[in-house]
């Protein structure tokens, strides 16, 4: 006798048996649909990237944490566990998130847009650069990286024009990502033939300032960043952050760190001020130009958004990210000390325009996740 079959006359067991049987069938149907969707997405992504020559061919076996780390410098990023990517159907995007739709159109029509990552200092860019270079070797796109000590972030009109010409020539119409610490440059202003996609990642301004303060004095904990450290007297180098802020938070902030706003506002001198005008211009440019501006504090969802909107460049980025643990540990800022709450409150006031911008970007970031039905993961 089948022990799972209800005995005749026992109506309640019959009902339970039918419910279990129905739920089991439903479970297997949903599982089959999930598997079908997964492999369909994989097949379409491979189809889009097939036939693309790999500009880094022959380098794949050399792509490792050690080799890439030796060629780049940047900032620390929290060690966050991998979160798998969820692919969902798109929903209409509001005007404030329109660059997402533009990027989707370019990729859907098999165009290979130039991606601009004008990385903000002390916002996890060492890990992101490592990830982009590893993905470039795997997915077959170019990485054009301008990375040397004290790279020029502010350019004249002629220098901006030359930069655009040099980068577009290097890309040569192929799928490429250009990487540099650089205040925002409008590529379309200097070239009608290129319509790049802009991406970036920012960080809580208070934490960014603290990290930048100690990095300029002591570099990385691994001791391999002396060329990137700022020249200063010993009295200034060994001045504690709390002492600097206690004298004058406004002056300390102005002296020690460039504003995040300039990386989105532009090259003009007004963009280098912490002012309502620079704040508004930075917000306008984010809305108009940037497909994704992620946040360090939620890096897994930043990767998910990049994977979903730009699969040609970031497909399976979350999987490769788990290999970045060595990079993260090597790029910790040396001798960084978290200040007291009182000091942080003073910094919050001194960085009020950047705090406003950070909250604006953060809201937009989660709006994008919601628009695309990508699950928001809190931790």
Please give the torsion angle defined by the CA atoms of residues 309, 188, 355 and 93, in that order, rounded to the nearest 10 degrees: -40
**Residue 62 designated active-site:** no
Looking at the predicted structure, is the pLDDT value of residue 92 above 50?
no
- Residue 366 CA to its chain's centroid (Å): 14
Residues 309/291, Cβ–Cβ less than 8 Å: yes
Greater confidence, 113 or 83?
Answer: 113
pLDDT range class, residue 40, cuts 50, 70, 90:
low
Residues 143-160 have a mean pLDDT of 90
Give CA 157 to chain center in angstroms. 28
Task: Give the start-to-end residue ranges of the domains of the chain.
Answer: 1-50, 60-371
The rounded distance, in Å, linking the Cα atoms of 260 and 184 is 11
Average pLDDT of the chain is 77
Which pLDDT score is estimated for 41? 47
**pLDDT score recorded for residue 142:** 94
Alpha helices in the chain (DSSP H): 11-49, 65-71, 98-108, 125-139, 157-171, 187-190, 205-218, 234-237, 241-247, 249-256, 262-265, 276-289, 299-309, 311-314, 317-321, 325-330, 341-350, 352-371
CA distance 129 to 132: 5
Cα separation, 194 vs 42, in Å, equals 29
Q: Does residue 90 or residue 19 have the better pLDDT?
A: 19
- Report residue 178 as tokens: 């250009």
The closest alpha carbon to 71, from 132, 116, 5, belongs to: 132
| CATH, range 60-371 | 3.40.50.300
pLDDT at 76 over 80: no
Categorize the per-residue pLDDT at 115 as very low, low, confident or very high, splitting at 50, 70 and 90. very high
225-257 burial, b at 16+ Cβ within 10 Å, e below that, comes to beebbeeeeeeeeebebbebbeeebeebbeebb
> What's residue 354's pLDDT?
97
Share of the chain above pLDDT 90, in %: 46
Report the pLDDT value the prediction gives residue 267, as an integer from 0 to 100.
97
* Cβ(5)–Cβ(17) below 8 Å: yes
pLDDT in tens, 121-148: 989 888 899 999 999 999 999 999 998 7
Distances in whole angstroms, Cα of residue 41 to Cα of each of 48, 70, 89, 104, 167: 11, 35, 11, 15, 32
In terms of Cβ atoms closer than 10 Å to its own Cβ (0-12, 13-18, 19+), residue 192 is exposed
User: Which tops the pLDDT comparison, 230 or 120?
Assistant: 120
Give the pLDDT of residue 20.
Answer: 82
- Mapping DSSP to helix (H, G, I), strand (E, B) and coil, where does residue 268 land? coil
Res. 249: pLDDT tops 50 = yes
The lowest-confidence range among 245-249, 296-300, 301-305, 329-333 is: 329-333
pLDDT value for 82: 33
Range from 98-112, 121-135, 243-257, 290-304 carrying the lowest mean pLDDT? 98-112
Strand order in the sheet with 142-146: 142-146, 176-180, 114-117, 197-202, 290-295
| 46 close to 96: Cβ distance less than 8 angstroms | no
Q: List CB contacts of 327: < 8 A, sequence separation 6 or more.
A: 65, 68, 69, 126, 127, 130
The pLDDT of residue 274 is above 90: yes
> pLDDT value at position 81?
33
Record the pTM.
Answer: 0.71
Catalytic, out of 146, 181, 183, 212: 181
Q: What is the share, in percent, of the chain residues with pLDDT greater than 70?
A: 67
pLDDT category at 256 given cuts 50, 70, 90 is confident
Q: What backbone phi and psi angles, to 5 degrees, belong to 299?
A: -65, -35
Query: What pLDDT does residue 15 have?
Result: 81
pLDDT of residue 328: 58
- Distance (Å, rounded) from C-alpha 378 to C-alpha 325? 21
On the question of pLDDT at 203 being above 70, the answer is yes
């Amino acid at each position: 006798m089948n022990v799972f079959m209800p005995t005749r006359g026992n109506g309640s067991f019959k009902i339970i048996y039918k419910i279990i049987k129905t739920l089991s069938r439903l479970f297997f149907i949903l599982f089959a649909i999930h598997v079908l969707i997964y492999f369909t997405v994989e097949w379409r992504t491979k189809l889009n990237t097939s036939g693309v020559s790999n500009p880094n061919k022959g380098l794949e076996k050399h792509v490792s944490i050690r080799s890439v780390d030796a060629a780049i410098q940047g900032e620390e990023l929290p060690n966050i566990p991998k979160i798998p990517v969820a692919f969902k159907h798109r929903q209409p995007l509001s005007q404030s998130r329109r660059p997402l739709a533009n990027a989707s159109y370019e990729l859907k029509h098999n165009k290979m847009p130039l991606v601009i990552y004008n990385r903000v200092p002390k916002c996890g860019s060492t890990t992101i650069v490592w990830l982009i270079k590893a993905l470039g070797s795997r997915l077959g796109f170019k990485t054009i990286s301008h990375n040397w000590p004290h790279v020029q972030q502010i350019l004249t009109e002629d220098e901006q024009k030359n930069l655009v010409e040099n980068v577009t020539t290097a890309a040569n119409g192929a799928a490429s990502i250009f990487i540099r610490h650089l205040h925002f440059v409008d590529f379309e202003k200097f070239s009608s033939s290129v319509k790049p996609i802009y991406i970036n990642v920012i960080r809580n301004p208070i934490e960014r300032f603290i990290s930048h303060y100690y990095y300029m004095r002591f570099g990385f904990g691994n001791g391999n960043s002396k060329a990137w450290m700022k020249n200063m007297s010993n009295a200034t180098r060994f001045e504690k952050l709390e002492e600097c802020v206690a004298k004058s938070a406004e002056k300390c902030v102005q002296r020690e760190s460039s504003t995040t706003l300039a990386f989105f506002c532009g090259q003009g001198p007004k963009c280098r001020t912490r002012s309502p005008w620079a704040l508004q211009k930075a917000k306008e440019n984010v809305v108009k130009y940037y497909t994704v501006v992620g946040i360090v504090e939620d890096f897994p969802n930043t990767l998910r958004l990049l994977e979903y909107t730009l699969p040609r460049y970031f497909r399976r980025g979350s999987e490769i990210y788990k290999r970045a643990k060595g990079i993260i540990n090597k790029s910790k800022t040396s001798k960084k000390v978290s200040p007291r709450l009182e000091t942080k409150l003073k910094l919050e006031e001194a960085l009020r325009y950047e705090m406003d911008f950070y909250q604006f970007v953060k809201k937009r970031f989660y709006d994008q996740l919601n628009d695309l039905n990508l699950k928001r993961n809190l931790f």
